[in-house]
Structure 1
Amino acid sequence: MTTGGIARQVVLRAAATAAGPALLLRRWTTADADALVEAYRDPVLRAWTRLGVPDAGAAVRWVEAQRTGWEGGGRLSFAVVEEEPGGGRVAGNVVLKRPEPAGPAGEVGYWTAAHARGRGVAPRALQVLTDWVFETFAGQGLEYLELMHQVDNTASCRVAEKAGYGFERVLPAVPPFPRDGHLHLRWATGGPVPG
């Protein structure tokens, strides 16, 4: 069964590395509410995100917003879970935003929980998401993905580069973003097609 033209139960995987266990990328559920609240207690995460998740009620609303995004097809958000014996722990989030499904561009975003930083979670999850996006939407006109972050978020800049998103240009600050940003791009074909 599909919703918005996308399979309901998309599950993606990234292999284990010396730095960390295998990753499972799956849709968010209300069972993840406590993990979301815990992740958003981290002041580093809060510094780079616009929305907070201060309690269980806010977490359930956040998960519901992700479900709505899947239903409409314009925001496909994945919980990134470290696969471990007996279960797994939420390690982050990756998301594809495509407000214009027939357009040439999409935008990706991510965050990593404090306990999972420094083990390559974000670049591995972003790479798996990127590969899936270009394969899944190849016939729908998707040409490139954008990744944006504030200029002073050097960790996000490193993640972008590790996942093959080349630096494109500096973006001027526009509310609600208080600082200039970086725009990184990744092309489905490896680069822009010469005109």
Structure 2
Amino acid sequence: MPDTTTRLRVDATPTAPALVLRPWSAADAAGLVALGRDDALRRWTSFAVDDETSAARWLREQRQGWEQGRRFAFAVEEVDPSGTGGPPAAHVVVKNVVPGAASAEVGYWTAARARGRGIAPRALRALTDWIFTSFARDGLTRLELIHRTDNTASCRVAETSRYGLTAVLPAQPPAYPGEGHLHVRHLTETSR
């Protein structure tokens, strides 16, 4: 089973720096509080960090997910040529990982300063490859990605990452106030 020392690296491109995906840590608390002030992030996600206490709770939930082997959340850092990472620019996660289950769900968000620069699709592709490499032997062959239909940026990330749109889901208030898109990626679909 993966542990909290897991690191994933995405190589630099001619137009974008390398990325490192790493488990969230207690050192990220202050940065999470700043991210929690982003209205767009609050609009499109369930991310609710308002202060140090809620940041510590959120980080504890991420750590517990790793310990339970059911949820694996990664902070995504841009890495400069010297190998130094900055504050998290994004978040990617696989959740509902159950041994023997054929599917799990992925999710992501991007910090305001990093939006529109291809970080989310690059990180999601790396996460997808890691998931299938790590969990296919336990039967995981399908990943689902759900977002609200009016979140066009998230739809572009899904499509760029080769998650095909398979259904429109009805609203289910209060948790899901609007219709959603269900995107799916299968193990048999090769990377890139």
Q: What range describes the TM-score normalised by the shorter chain of this pair?
A: over 0.9
Which of the residues 22, 31, 34 maps onto 1:38?
34
2:87 to 63, 74, 89: 89
Residue pairs, 1:101-140, within 5 angstroms: 101-140=99-138
Kept in 2, the 8 Å contact 1:23–1:82? The answer is: yes
Structure 2 Cα separation of the partners of residues 164 and 99 of structure 1? 20
CA distance in 1, matches of 2:27, 2:184: 34
Distance in 2 separating the partners of 1:152 and 1:65: 28
Q: Which residue of 1 aligns with 2:24?
A: 28
Equivalent residues in 2 for 1:1-195, closer than 5 Å = 5-84=1-80, 85=82, 86-175=84-173, 176-190=175-189
Q: Quick check: 1:37–1:54 contact (8 Å CA) kept in 2?
A: yes
Query: Over aligned residues, Cα RMSD in angstroms?
Result: 1.4
The gaps in structure 1 that reach 5 residues or longer are none
Rounded to whole Å, the distance in 2 between the matches of 1:91 and 1:12 is: 15
Identical residues among aligned pairs (%): 53
Task: Report SS of the residue matched to 1:25.
Answer: strand
Unaligned stretches of 5+ residues in structure 2: none
What secondary structure, in the 3-state scheme, does the structure 2 residue paired with 1:52 have? coil
CA distance in 1, matches of 2:131, 2:75: 16
CA spacing shift, 1:8–1:52, aligned 2, 3 Å: closer
C-alpha displacement of 1:20: 2.6
The amino acid across from 2:38 in the alignment is D
For 1:112 and 1:8, how far apart are their aligned partners in 2? Answer: 21
SS in 2 for 1:93: strand
How far apart in 2 are the matches of 1:40 and 1:178?
21
Distance in 2 between the 1:40 and 1:21 partners? 25
- Mapped to 1, the partners of 2:116 and 2:179 lie a distance apart of 25
Alpha-carbon distance, 1:40 to partner = 1.6
Q: Normalising by structure 1, report the TM-score.
A: 0.92
Regions of 4+ moved over 6 Å: none
1:88 counterpart SS class = coil
Please state whether the residue corresponding to 2:101 is helix, strand or coil. Answer: coil
Deviation of 1:6 after TM superposition, in Å, equals 2.1
Q: Which moved more, 1:121-130 or 1:9-18?
A: 9-18
More strand by share: 1
Counterparts of 2:8 and 2:97, CA distance in 1:
22
Kept after mapping to 2: 8 A contact 1:83/1:89:
no
Residue 146 of structure 1 deviates from its aligned partner by 0.0
SS in 2 for 1:89: coil
Q: Contact 1:19–1:119 (CA<8 Å) still a contact in 2?
A: no
Deviation of the 1:99 alpha carbon: 4.5
Counterpart-to-counterpart distance in 2, 1:141 and 1:98 = 13
1:174 shift after superposition: 1.2
